[in-house]
């Protein structure tokens, strides 16, 4: 039945939604680009899958697929609607798992964690949280890319940056002091690291996600970065730590991450310069989950521990 304007459409359908079966079928067909494979996944016949998608197109009054012989392809409207449907189904699935996994408001706390920060700082302290709240289990996920609570299925995250994460609750945790370190063997030899100028003769290990760290350090200690001998680049601090211990080059590392290595003598700091890093660590809480008991308790505990 055609509608003459949007107001008439809303008057009739303001409290109606498309069939959930039709929505699920459309998403599966769009994902596989095939009615046959979608029907197999949903355990229905191909003709039933086709009828459900047709009914959805009639409801929306727009074509979602173009059909040519045995081939189908999403239309522009279909691509738009598929993105909307896929995101919505993922949110419903995540929320369903959330409720199923919860127990007396506690359940499992999922933490998206920077790998080295988690290994070196958070994990050694989690026994305190577990002792205080034994009914809360926790799941730690290595997470340092673009933050997406729904896709990663996490409640909170710890990130390094400048506090720019929209639609989230953001708590600053700590800054960092960065220092030059190396293997003790690099203090000896033809070009011992007895001055800043000696850095010209050694490979400088880089952090791939913080490409400007060395320039920041040089400028902070009053040195023109100039031309240096660049060494390999690593994605995570724990890789850089091991590379420096192995003598691969000179590293620039946050002091709180290498306390143990400095104490044991695996790494040494040839200079006394300590420079404040260009960012800070933050606890980022999903606004949608901020009131869950396990999330509130973890946030309170972490801020208390940092303090």
Confidence band, pLDDT 50/70/90 cuts, at residue 38: very high
Quote the tokens at residue 35.
Answer: 């009615």
> Is the pLDDT higher at 11 or at 251?
251
> Average pLDDT of 32-59?
93
pLDDT at 25: 95
Percent of the chain with pLDDT strictly greater than 70: 92
Lowest mean pLDDT among 3-7, 230-234, 288-292: 3-7
Q: Is the pLDDT of residue 2 over 60?
A: no
**Which of these, 135, 299, 279, lies nearest to 207 by C-alpha position?**
279
Task: Count other Cβ atoms within 10 Å, centred on residue 69.
Answer: 5
pLDDT band at 102 (very low <50, low <70, confident <90, very high): low
Q: Looking at residue 4, what is its pLDDT?
A: 52
Give the angle 221-262-160 at the CA atoms, nearest 5°. 60
**Mean pLDDT (the chain, rounded):** 87
Q: Is the pLDDT of residue 85 over 60?
A: yes
Give DSSP secondary structure letters for 138-151. EEEEE--SS--HHH
Helix (H) or strand (E) holding 284: strand 280-286
- What does the DSSP assignment read for 153-165? T-SEEEEEESS--
289 or 188, which is more confident?
289
pLDDT at 90: 82
| pLDDT, average across residues 79-93 | 88
Question: Is pLDDT at 36 greater than 70 in this prediction?
Answer: yes
Residue 151 has pLDDT above 90, yes or no: no
Rounded distance, CA 260 to CA 282, Å? 23
CA–CA separation, 145 and 283 (whole Å): 15
C-alpha 215/C-alpha 135 separation (Å) is: 47
pLDDT: is 244 or 16 the higher one?
Answer: 244
Task: Pick from 3-7, 33-37, 65-69 the range whose average pLDDT is largest.
Answer: 33-37
pLDDT score of 15: 54
If phi > 0 it is left, if psi is from -120 to 50 it is alpha, else beta; for residue 247 that is left
99 pLDDT above the threshold of 80 = no
* pTM of this structure: 0.67
- Helix or strand (DSSP H, E) at 60: helix 46-60
| 100 pLDDT higher than 70 | no
Q: 113 near 157, Cβ under 8 Å?
A: yes
* Secondary structure tally for the chain: helices H, strands E: 12, 12
- pLDDT score of 247: 92
pLDDT band at residue 145, thresholds of 50, 70 and 90? confident
pLDDT-derived band of residue 1, with 50, 70 and 90 as boundaries?
very low
Q: Which of 62-71, 91-100, 112-121 has the lowest mean pLDDT?
A: 91-100
Residue 233 CB contacts under 8 Å (≥ 6 apart), including other chains: 205, 206, 207, 208
Q: Are 17 and 59 in contact (CB under 8 A)?
A: no
At residue 103, the pLDDT reads 55
**CA atoms within a 13 Å half-sphere pointing along the CA-CB vector of 273:** 20
């Amino acid at each position: 039945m055609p509608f003459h304007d949007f107001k008439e459409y809303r008057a009739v359908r303001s409290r109606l939604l498309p069939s959930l079966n039709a929505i699920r079928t459309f998403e599966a067909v769009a994902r596989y680009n095939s009615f046959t494979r979608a029907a197999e996944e949903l355990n229905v016949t191909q003709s039933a899958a086709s009828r459900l998608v047709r009914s959805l197109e009639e409801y929306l009054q727009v074509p979602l697929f173009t059909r040519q012989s045995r081939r189908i392809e999403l239309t522009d409207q279909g691509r738009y609607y598929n993105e909307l449907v896929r995101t919505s189904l993922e949110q419903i699935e995540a929320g369903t798992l959330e409720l199923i996994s919860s127990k007396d408001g506690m359940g499992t706390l999922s933490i998206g964690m920077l790998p080295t920060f988690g290994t070196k700082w958070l994990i050694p302290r989690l026994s305190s949280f577990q002792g205080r709240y034994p009914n809360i289990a926790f799941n730690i996920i290595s997470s340092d890319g673009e933050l997406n609570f729904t896709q990663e299925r996490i409640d909170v995250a710890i990130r390094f940056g400048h506090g720019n994460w929209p639609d989230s609750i953001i708590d600053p945790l700590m800054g960092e002091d960065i220092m030059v370190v190396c293997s003790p063997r690099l203090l000896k030899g033809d070009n011992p690291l007895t001055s800043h100028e000696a850095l010209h003769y050694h490979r400088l290990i880089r952090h791939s996600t913080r490409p400007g760290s060395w320039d920041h350090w040089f400028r902070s200690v009053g040195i023109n970065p100039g031309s240096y001998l660049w060494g390999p680049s690593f994605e995570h601090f724990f890789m850089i730590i091991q590379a420096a211990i192995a003598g691969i080059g000179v590293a620039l590392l946050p002091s709180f991450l290498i306390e143990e290595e400095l104490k044991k003598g695996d790494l040494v700091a040839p200079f006394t310069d300590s420079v404040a890093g260009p960012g800070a660590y933050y606890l980022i809480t999903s606004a949608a989950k901020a009131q869950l008991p396990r999330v509130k308790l973890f946030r309170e505990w972490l801020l208390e521990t940092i303090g």
